[in-house]
Structure 1
């Protein structure tokens, strides 16, 4: 992505608002969770300095080195995120390779758990922000959960309108937020400058030596300071590498380090602040303003996660891992800003379940880390295949680069896995459900394709025989949707059988889904003449591209395709999937896939074809 010097500050500011909302709100709960009574870590100077040292060095190693220095380089034509990385890793091996299916499963596991993280993030950030009211006065404790639910409902209710108008203010506010974090940190460090010793990594090592098993268990809480690191990579396509890196090193990293050091100083000066050190940083007078400030920051962090969820769902649909859903574009200027109603309301319901079911950020913290650590593990594994088989780096260098991060990711994963029984099961169950749905859909679609291929009639031979004794030609253009690698469309066979006519101009349209984010406009259309005024039109789309068939046909007009919308009919075969005994997919999933297929979004609407120009013809497919 090309950023001029004049645009770079604005883009960097925007990246602050979108990319760093999640990790930027981690100070609300990370230190509080480390010294929670359930972990049994004594609140003494050695442990405080040790915990902050581990947080600082985790930010340096995992975020600065792993994500900012290494993984941001593994972009898929400028696009980031687990789906883009999976597509890049799969492209590095052939479909016949023994690594293809395992890599797909690894990528789907990371994607599935991202959905779990997408539920926990809004719940914990909004709850932890509003819990500041408990510090102000215990009388407000009963109102924390209802207030959090009200904020969540309000946030999801406005998603249909998009964030184009508010987005410009997110960066401005988050800059103020990081300034506040840094300012509070400086004030408290000045009162207790000894906390600067935490930059010495030996304090972190001593934390494990002194606390042994309890220290390892606390690693799961320390990891909360890293949640949101995946967003650096996931939002790469929106901003580019340079703005993301500038925002991290110029504002986010210094502010986070200063605030964690400041909270450590607060704990050393006032051990009673351990129940919520963030809200004790400036004294009693600041609690209500900080609650208001934190709630806005939490809403922005949640909004970034919600938008990312829509983006991942859109990519999964395009890559045929999820059935078609209604996708609305909320901005005329930004194609990446989408709203998916089904995903929005499902996520709202689950977030409300998490807020009311867990009831506090302390309880949600146990559920938080496990999904993120597995996503980080999958990212590291996929990155190895990219740098080894795409970039052709030396094997020893690849093992050294990814092995180092894999060891740290594994340590965080094991520490977080101890929390499965205490809430970690929640995102794991959601991830398992999502992964099952994606695998069933992918497997079912392949079974449908194999069935159609088995009975396919080669198009070239069919047309040759058809025009030996041609049918009656009627005025206008007929567009027949034809699957990639398929033979004669079933809709054409039905039309010839029942109506016994062929349109004057017949276009066979094939949508080619590519494993890249976007296809350049000048590479999107391929038009070939099959003779007898029959044409084959191939339209190439990346997994981030808007599926707009009418727009593609208009583009094909410059290549010789002459058509008028009101004289064009679009023939689409509606497939009814019939489960049969001994089918191509396990019997337990046949009915599930058939139900998903029946409820998938109508192809005409998904591809933006006017409903009054569509003719649907049914066909049954056994699996």
Structure 2
């Protein structure tokens, strides 16, 4: 048992060393040779522990399957996310602001929500995911009084909590970035509603309704959060290994924590929208017509 415990500690130390090297190189911008030296030094020390425990682990060989499972999960998650991120396209919001304003004023289209909020991963203030634009305009356009694009940024400072507002179209198209410390719970909906209250109180935002954003028929403002989730399209045609990788990734996402819970959104205010991921579309399809 001691050998298995030591083996587990050694694996954890190796993973920590790799993460530390990545942090020093890409976050702190340390010199490459200095980072490589640190990685080599710790790697030699941890390798000696690894070899020592591998010799002993033969008495607890079942433990190897547990370690292998952990490694396999990490491998699938990392590589499948790389594939998934290749299909994330960003566009400039400015190209669509006029169209968003026109849709907002078009009373011929049924109103979807007063405040329509999309969660965005775009770090650039003027960028937005292309899939969000498609979600608004494709099929049944989603008309709203105000379009919000909400970006959650996790900071290295443990307890920081701040926000930035970029108003692209007056009272109609607004992007908000919330900076949340890594030790704080991501209660995004609560923070967002607080920001709206502050904007109204400072007279930076005119909701055309009551001062609190409510209507005379309802004491609560009408907020609708859209969470876009991908699924593997049936149009895909890929190799066995790619299929195993991507199917494993989406299985982990299915059994893992939902995005709305991870971001701290109230289920009653959330609508989950499914969009297909076409990674390798089938090209050769032969259909034979028979009869009349």
Equivalent positions of 1:155-194 (< 5 A) are none
CA RMSD after TM alignment: 3.9
Secondary structure at 1:418 match in 2: helix
Q: 1:609 to 1:449 in 2, by over 3 A?
A: same
Q: Is the 8 A contact 1:387 1:398 kept in 2?
A: no
> What's the CA shift string for 1:261-315, capped at 9, x where partnerless?
xxxxxxxxxxxxxxxxxxxxxxxxxxxxxxxxxxxxxxxxxxxxxxxxxxxxxxx
> Structure 1: any 5+ residue segments left out of the alignment?
1-363
TM-score, scaled to structure 1: 0.35
Corresponding position of 2:288: none
Task: Select which of 85, 93, 113 maps to 1:459.
Answer: 93
8 Å contact 1:573–1:617 — kept in the other structure? yes
Partner of 1:536: 175
SS of the residue corresponding to residue 586 of structure 1 reads: helix
Rate the CA distance shift 1:543–1:399 in 2: closer, same or farther, 3 A: same
Which residue number corresponds to residue 148 of structure 2? 507
Q: Which deviates the most, 604-613 or 537-546?
A: 537-546
Q: 2:149, 2:178 → 1: CA distance?
A: 11
Partners of 1:484 and 1:511 within 8 A in 2: no
Partner of 1:619: 275
Match of 1:414, SS state, is: helix
Question: How many residues are paired up?
Answer: 252
> Partners of 1:608 and 1:396 in 2: how far apart?
40
Asked if structure 2 preserves the Cα contact closer than 8 Å seen for 1:477 and 1:506, the reply is: yes
Q: Residue 318 of structure 1 aligns with which residue?
A: none
1:471 aligns with 2:106: yes
Looking at structure 2, the residues matched to 465 and 586 of structure 1 have their Cα atoms a distance apart, in angstroms, of 39
Mapped contact 1:578–1:594 kept (Cα < 8 A): no
Contact kept in structure 1, 2:161 and 2:178, CA below 8 Å: no
Give the structure 1 partner of residue 242 of structure 2: 586
Aligned counterpart for 2:227 among listed residues 572, 597, 601: 572
| C-alpha separation in 2, matches of 1:598 and 1:556 | 32
Distance in 2, matches of 1:617 and 1:574, equals 6
Report the CA distance between 1:610 and its aligned residue.
1.8
Structure 1 residue 617 displacement after superposition: 2.8
Once the two structures are superposed, what CA deviation does each residue of 1:43-69 show, in whole Å capped at 9, x if it has no partner? xxxxxxxxxxxxxxxxxxxxxxxxxxx
2:11 matches 1:374:
yes
Distance apart, 1:481 and its partner CA: 2.1
| 1:513 and 1:543 in contact (8 A); partners too | yes
Where do residues 392-431 of structure 1 align in structure 2 (5 Å cutoff)?
403=41, 407-423=44-60, 425-431=61-67
CA 1:402/1:555 → structure 2, altered by over 3 Å: closer, same or farther? farther
**What is the aligned partner in structure 1 of residue 164 from structure 2?**
526
Once residues 512 and 400 of structure 1 are traced to their aligned partners in structure 2, the CA distance between those partners, rounded to angstroms, is: 29
Where structure 2 has 5 or more consecutive residues not aligned to the other structure, the ranges are 208-212, 215-219, 280-292
- CA positional deviation for 1:540: 2.9
Relative distance call for 1:428 and 1:540 in structure 2 (3 A) is: farther
* Partner deviation per Cα, 1:401-442 (whole Å, 9 max, x = no partner): 983x6555443332211012111x444432321222123223
Counting only pairs closer than 5 Å after superposition, residues 22-41 of structure 1 correspond to structure 2 as none
Higher-Rg member (1/2): 1
Structure 2 vs 1, CA of residues 451 and 399 (structure 1 numbering), >3 Å: closer, same or farther? closer
Tell which has more relative contact order, 1 or 2 (C-alpha 8 A, sep 6+): 1
Higher helix share: 1
